[in-house]
Amino acid sequence: MEPVRIEQGLIAGKAEESLYSFLGLPYAAPPVDELRWAPPAAPAPWDGVRDATRFGNIAIQAINAGVDMGADQSEDCLYLNVYTTTLDPKARRPVVFWIHGGGFLIGSSSQDWYPGGPLAQRDITLVTLNYRLGAFGFLAHPQISPNLGVQDWVAALEWVKRNITNFGGDPDNITISGQSAGGAATRALLHTPSARGLFHRAIVMSAGFEDYAAVDSPSNRRSTHATENVFRHLGTSDIEELRKAPAEKVAAASLKESGQFPPAGQVHTPANLVWYPAADGQIVTEDFSGWAEDVEVMFGVTRDESRMFHAPGGVFPPRDVDPAEVYTPETLAHMARRLGGERADDIIAHFTERGSAPYEALVELSTAAIWHEPALATYRRFAALDRTTYFYDFARHSPGSIKSGLLAKHSAEIPYLFGTVAAGDFYNSVDADVSDTVQHAWTEFARTGIPSSPDGTPWPACDSVAPQFTLIDDLTATKPLDLIATPLCDMIRSQREE
């Protein structure tokens, strides 16, 4: 394979059968020393041919999740990767721009969760990236440019716009997409004026919905308060001195103020998170300043989101633990008050009438309050805006997920999207078919703005008169929205309407 020229110089990637991959491409200068907490600056050019066969550094991780992130951690982390099956500048294939999840505390584009080949084989060009996490990317302080993580995404999109034709991509057909924190990132870009025109479609997965109904949502106010505490932990509020502080000390202070540790009697949910893209009036706005009217959006949830966070024995790897040893009626009562507000007693009565065990009740309550009700509120808002939007619910339970009790947990759709559902103890041939459905719908949406099933059946758009959604299960079907708008979601919704 001949070297490929981009604006900084020549690069040499990897060619494996019909797949070309280019890894560790700098889309901005290293945000270190005087560039710590500065907007992303242009990357430096190079002479000769740059090796693009290894992933670039990943952002500093706030915690050890027990997952191989695929590369070393460093503040010098602003790198992206490109996967394609053609280097023909005239190919003009749809581009999917993937933002990884991890609560803005952990995660990387080099995790084995995100192999580029299966999606690129669907005649798209795939871009994945790293960005600043925790307090490195989301401090809120008058002396620091706000939402630096958001500015990283914009800088990467600008790089893609300028360079992607050399990888067979179409700079006029870019779909931003992400799951969990990546979904919140995608939603934030709809509110980012500087991103307007840099993307043409968006897929928001399992985050980035309306504010929570009964719980404080991440906000600039919360980030500002946490920033002041970070400075207190580090012993100074002098920005120049803070830029000299060892990265590991900044990371430790960032974790203390991250919201990762819930109050006594409660359990962690993403509603606790502090380092998060929030409206600051400058980079991210309250209104949809970055969402052009002709930009279609697809968004959705998984059926059993909270089982990811409340698995009694953990997830990486799961351990066989009796839920009753971890989750008690007292835990449920605490969380009903936290997530249900004034409807807490009604929520407890709802589960008591059904005879639900505390663990089963807790995961259902948390799923409804943190994901499903805000997603339904988003459905109603998007439909009222009369924008072209689509809503899905991923509900497939693989054999392995049934055995583990994780079911269609938060992130359950990722292996289906990235094509890693090889048949075995965890997945079977039905999962392979569901993976084909998911990959087809996502890439057709990127290509045309209309998600569809492999047989060509288009998915229903959001509609305020006859609201429907697409259910992704063993089979894919159109269903009325009230199938997911459960009585529990209605109880949570009543807090929003008061």
Neighbours of 354 (CB within 10 A): 10
Three-state SS at 300: strand
Which residue, 304, 462, 471, 311, is CA-closest to 371? Answer: 304
Asked if residues 313 and 468 have their Cβ atoms less than 8 Å apart, the reply is no
**Which pair of structure tokens corresponds to residue 83?**
């996967």
For the four alpha carbons of 340, 345, 349 and 355, in that order, the dihedral sign comes to positive
Q: Which helix (H) or strand (E) holds 329?
A: helix 329-340
C-alpha span between 7 and 5 (Å, rounded) = 7
397 catalytic residue (yes or no)? no
401 catalytic residue (yes or no)? no
Asked if residues 94 and 173 have their Cβ atoms less than 8 Å apart, the reply is yes
C-alpha span between 241 and 250 (Å, rounded) = 12
- Start-to-end CA distance of the chain, whole Å, equals 62
**DSSP type of residue 58:** B
Q: What torsion do the CA atoms of 68, 418, 209, 199 make, to the nearest 10 degrees?
A: 110
Neighbours of 171 (CB within 10 A): 16
Active-site residue among 310, 334, 350, 410? 410
Asked if residues 87 and 167 have their Cβ atoms less than 8 Å apart, the reply is yes
**Which pair of structure tokens corresponds to residue 385?**
């805006």
How much is the CA Rg of the chain, to the nearest whole Å?
22
Active-site residue among 177, 180, 398, 411? 180
Buried residues in 223-244 as b, exposed as e (16+ CB within 10 A): bbebbeebbeebeeeeeeebee
- Helical ranges in 344-428 per DSSP H: 344-354, 358-367, 373-384, 399-404, 414-417
**DSSP type of residue 422:** -
C-alpha span between 139 and 223 (Å, rounded) = 6
180 catalytic residue (yes or no)? yes
C-alpha span between 467 and 341 (Å, rounded) = 27
Active-site residue among 210, 257, 305, 413? 305
Neighbours of 174 (CB within 10 A): 24
Active site residues: 180, 305, 410
